[in-house]
Amino acid sequence: MNLKGRDFLKLLDFTPEEIVYLLDLASELKDKKKKGIPVDTLRGKNIALIFEKTSTRTRCAFEVAAHDLGMGTTYLDPAGSQIGKKESIADTARVLAGMYEGIEYRGFDQEIVEELARYAKVPVWNGLTNEFHPTQMLADLLTIREHFGHLKGIRLTFMGDARYNMGNSLMVACAKMGMHFTACTTEKYFPSRELSDQCRDIASETGGSITFTEDPGCGTKGADVIYTDVWVSMGESDQVWEERIRELSPYRVTRSIMENAGEGAVFMHCLPAFHDLKTVIGEQMGERFGIMEMEVTDEVFESSQSLVFEEAENRMHTIKAVMAATL
């Protein structure tokens, strides 16, 4: 398997075999890191990290992984560069490709990262767009594989806003790996027809399936993984909070949802999560709407079924694998 020089923009661009290769490489790099065996084979290289939206996990994962591999990093924060405001994506791509061996981009439309990749002659990695979050998918698949020992046949139910980056990406990831994906939410929040048709075609070849339901009871019964995400994503207007809380509250992940899934089910979330009032936004929503938690209860988040922190750690090992494989 040779992925040298490839961009990592969305999982749709990769075969199931290539995805498994990246997961295996991530496992190997994780194992070496735990044993204190250095893997700094990319010494002397440098990468640029463009963040047009904020981040904790993705930024730290890229920085630590790059450092472990022996590389230097430059972080361009949402306000600290000329990108988009004074300089086009095409020009930025060609400038950065002259100085760096790889470029990470987090921002808005998928088309922006695709354009960056078209103009940069070095690998470009998608650190989250409105449509997709592919590095998160590798971490999630690795976490599921570590827990259950396999991916094929796993039943994953996503609750909440399934038409955004996380719902879309999980649907693609499940289709690619022969898993059963269910979007459990109101119809308005189902992934698009175009993407779901594409995923159904992929699933028909891998043995997976794609199901949409508005019924939390049916949608979560017997699921292996219950997954959710914030109800309002980065870049969306604060005006939508009220509507989201009203429309998505029936899809909050609670103890009864986990019980309905079954004893062996696990809870996953890409994070950050609103599971209590210990954040500025959580506190504001608590005051405005009289709620203690949003997409997941604190009880589930903190329970032994919750894999969220293993999942967060795996961001680093899998991002390291993407860089090691493509550089």
Instruction: Tell me which residues touch ligand NVA (CB under 6 A).
Output: 128, 164-166, 229-230, 233-234, 270
> Using CB atoms within 10 A of its CB, is residue 206 exposed (0-12), middle (13-18) or buried (19+)?
middle
* Span 267-326, contacts to ligand CP by CB under 6 A: 270-271
Cβ of residue 53: shortest distance to ligand NVA, in angstroms?
A: 7
- In DSSP notation, 196-248 reads HHHHHHHHHHHT-EEEEES-HHHHHTT-SEEEE--SS-TTS-GGGHHHHHHHH
- Binds ligand CP by CB under 6 A, chosen from 136, 168, 196, 260: 136
CB of 18 to ligand NVA, least distance (A): 23
Closest CA to 45 of 107, 6, 1, 101: 101
Q: Which of residues 36-75 bind ligand CP (CB under 6 A)?
A: 55-58
Distance in Å, CB of 164 to ligand NVA, minimum: 5
Q: In angstroms, give the least distance from the CB of 235 to ligand NVA.
A: 7
Three-class SS state of 174 = helix
| Residue of 174, 184, 199, 270 marked active site | 270
* CA distance linking residue 238 with residue 118, whole number of Å: 33
Of the candidates 136, 163, 180, 317, the residue annotated as catalytic is: 136
* CB 157 within 8 Å of CB 220: yes
Using an 8 Å Cβ cutoff, are 253 and 288 in contact? no
Find the shortest distance in angstroms from Cβ 31 to ligand NVA.
26
> Is residue 161 flagged as an active site residue?
no
Provide, rounded to whole angstroms, the least separation between the CB of residue 262 and ligand CP.
Answer: 26
Select from ligand NVA, ligand CP, none the partner in contact with residue 233, using the beta carbon and a kind-dependent cut-off of 5 to 8 Å. ligand NVA
Q: Closer to ligand NVA by CB, 126 or 260: give it.
A: 126
Cβ neighbors of 250 (< 8 A, separation 6 or more) are: 186, 216
Which 112-131 positions form the footprint of ligand CP (CB under 6 A)? Answer: 128
d(CA 296, CA 293): 7
Q: What is the nearest approach in angstroms of ligand CP to the Cβ of residue 1?
A: 26
298 is catalytic: no
In the complex with ligand CP, the residue whose CB is nearer, 58 or 126, is 58
DSSP 235-249: TS-GGGHHHHHHHHG
Nearer to ligand NVA, 165 or 318 (CB): 165
Q: Which residues contact 203 (CB under 8 A, 6 or more apart)?
A: 174, 175, 178, 181, 209, 210
Instruction: Report d(CA 65, CA 221) in Å as an integer.
Output: 38
Q: Is 270 considered catalytic here?
A: yes
Question: 7, 140, 224, 229: which is the annotated catalytic residue?
Answer: 229
Which candidate in 163, 252, 275, 315 is catalytic? 315
φ/ψ (deg, to 5) at 164: -100, -165
Under the binding rule (CB under 6 A), the answer on residue 228 touching ligand CP is no
Build a one-symbol-per-residue string for 229-248: x at contacts with ligand CP by CB under 6 A, - elsewhere: --------------------
Cis peptide before 123 (omega within 30 of 0): no
Paired strand residues for 228: 159, 269
User: How far apart (Å, rounded) are the C-alpha atoms in residues 129 and 10?
Assistant: 10
Q: Does residue 82 have an active-site annotation?
A: no
- Catalytic residue at 229? yes
> Is 94 considered catalytic here?
no
CA-nearest of 183, 179, 182 to 151 is 179
Please identify, using beta-carbon distances, which residue of 63 and 101 lies nearer to ligand NVA.
Answer: 63
- Out of ligand CP, ligand NVA, none, what residue 56 binds, judged by CB under 5 to 8 A for its kind, is ligand CP
Candidate list 6, 57, 59, 133, residue with the active-site label: 133
Catalytic positions, written as ranges: 106, 133, 136, 229, 270, 315
Residues that bind ligand CP (CB under 6 A): 55-58, 128, 136, 270-271
